[in-house]
Amino acid sequence: MENGKYPESIAKSKEYLGTALEKITKAQLPYNPISYLMWYEYAKGEDEQLKRSLELLLKQNNPIDFDQITRLHKKHMGANKLELAEQTSRELQNILTEMVTQLSASSSGIENRGNTLNTYADELNKAASLDIITKIAKNIITETKSVVQSSKALKNQLDSAQSKINVLTQELEGVKKTAQTDSLTTLLNRHGFDENMAKIMEGKDNFHEPLSVIMLDIDHFKKFNDQYGHLVGDNVLKMLGKHLKNHIKGQDIAARFGGEEFILVLPKTPIKGAYLLAQQIRLGVADMKLKIKDTGEPIDQITISLGVALLKSDESLDAAIKRADDALYRAKNQGRNRAVTESEDDN
């Protein structure tokens, strides 16, 4: 590993390694590089998403298996698709900067707009996200629209640049969507969930509508995987993802939170409405008649447990998620296959 990523002292690295070995031993995982890396990063605590994913595994009553660790390794340590988005956005910046330079050098009545275009050029150099770059691109095109009418050569240059912008924007949106989507269930992944919730929470102080959170997971899923295999387990996860999509609407958000755990965020929904939705989802899953595709063999009934909480006006989203998670574990302790709200021990 390069020094920039692991600059800690020998004493500190020894401490982290000790914690990693303790977790590996306790979970009875193999002593291999993947296990070491995941738990070493957990001990460092700098990757909040990785730490939360591992803590969710630790909270489960079932032992952690190496397949779960491998999937987390692929998710958090594999090739980062966002690097591709960053590279492509820089290419977009280069095209726009070149276009501004051509416009500023033109004698086709652009002089009066020179200062504005130079400002856009400066903003491009500082742009840190696709949204900002796209906004600047629209401003540039609007600013120069009247000028290009009088210059055929300049218009051709602008048309060519705009065509490239359109293609790159589509590519960037595709990369962004892929980076935010769980490949198995096609729901939002943790990164996509965080991105979407950040936008919703930005305006939290300006709205007074209720917002409810539902945490849910599949009961005895590890036992199910051991009995039927991970391929059948993956198909169940796909089925549940589709089931959740069919039960949300409007601004509702559904995401795979990790493993067999899922989250729903329901803007403009009071806790009573969220509880009724949780019950609909639960009953729908329990009524499903599943079979193994190749053999037609019936599969044991799948059930889910759910916890429901309401976001308070003076708290963070994480606090509401924690209370929904606590309600989920009360549902587990009360016998599973049930939905429990944060304020009720029994529903």
Let me know whether 171 and 311 are in one domain.
no
Distances (CA, A) of 13 to 37, 38, 48, 55, 72: 12, 14, 19, 21, 22
Catalytic residues: 260
Condensed to tens digits (0 to 9), the pLDDT of residues 13-28 reads: 777 777 877 888 888 8
Question: What contacts 247, CB < 8 A, 6 or more positions away?
Answer: 277, 280, 281, 284
CA atoms within 13 A on the CB side of 83: 4
Let me know whether 248 and 323 are in one domain.
yes
Let me know whether 105 and 25 are in one domain.
no
Question: Cβ distance 172 to 92 under 8 Å?
Answer: yes
State the first-to-last Cα distance of the chain, in angstroms, to the nearest integer.
51
Let me know whether 303 and 219 are in one domain.
yes
Q: Which residues of the chain have pLDDT under 70?
A: 1-11, 32-33, 77-118, 120-122, 124-131, 133-134, 136-158, 168-169, 171-178, 203-207, 344-347
- What's the order of all strands across the beta sheet hosting 304-310? 253-258, 261-267, 211-218, 304-310, 339-341
Of 21, 50, 78, the residue that ends a domain is: 78
Of 29, 57, 78, the residue that ends a domain is: 78
Let me know whether 69 and 17 are in one domain.
yes
- Number of Cβ atoms within 10 Å of the Cβ of 232: 18
Condensed to tens digits (0 to 9), the pLDDT of residues 297-345 reads: 888 899 999 999 999 988 889 999 999 999 999 999 999 999 999 986 4
Query: Is residue 212 one of the residues assigned to a domain?
Result: yes
Let me know whether 172 and 253 are in one domain.
no
Let me know whether 308 and 214 are in one domain.
yes
| The pLDDT of residue 320 | 94
Q: What is the domain count for the chain? A: 3
Let me know whether 72 and 91 are in one domain.
no
* Domain of residue 60, residue span: 10-78
Distance separating alpha carbons of residues 56 and 178, to the nearest angstrom: 24
Let me know whether 208 and 330 are in one domain.
yes
Distance separating alpha carbons of residues 268 and 55, to the nearest angstrom: 30
Query: Is residue 305 one of the residues assigned to a domain?
Result: yes
Let me know whether 229 and 158 are in one domain.
no
- What percentage of the chain's residues is helix, strand, coil (to nearest 5)? 60, 10, 30
Of 151, 178, 205, the residue that ends a domain is: 178
Question: Which three-class secondary structure state does DSSP give residue 285?
Answer: helix
